[in-house]
Amino acid sequence: MSFSLDSFEDPSGWGAPVQTEDDVVTAALKKEKTIKEIAAAQEDLRALLARVKAVQADVNKLASGNETLQMYIDNLTLQMAKRR
């Protein structure tokens, strides 16, 4: 059985993957695509957050209006009760 020193110099023989230029380019493209997807998702989240804030402002405004209307109804009810 003969051994060759050449097999010890080949990193693929030790289980370490040898990256080719295509692998590096493919990995870079995947990273770039992932970064773009994350940026798009962040922008979507910003838009949703802005919408939530706008809806919350509308809800607060309506709740305030409801309180005013309820106070008006209560005052009218008291006035009507006093007249009887």
25-39 residue pLDDT tens: 999 999 999 999 999
Quote the pLDDT of residue 41. 98
Quote the pLDDT of residue 83. 87
Q: Tell me whether residue 75 is in a domain.
A: yes
77: domain range? 19-83
In angstroms, the first-to-last Cα distance of the chain is 118
Cα separation values, 76 from 35, 62, 66, 73, 80, Å = 61, 21, 15, 5, 6
Q: Please, are residues 56 and 49 in contact by the beta-carbon 8 Å criterion?
A: no
Q: Tell me whether residue 72 is in a domain.
A: yes
Q: Tell me whether residue 42 is in a domain.
A: yes
Q: Tell me whether residue 49 is in a domain.
A: yes
Which region among 20-24, 33-37, 76-80 has the lowest average model confidence (pLDDT)? 20-24
Residue 13 pLDDT greater than 80, yes or no = no
What is the count of structural domains for the chain?
1
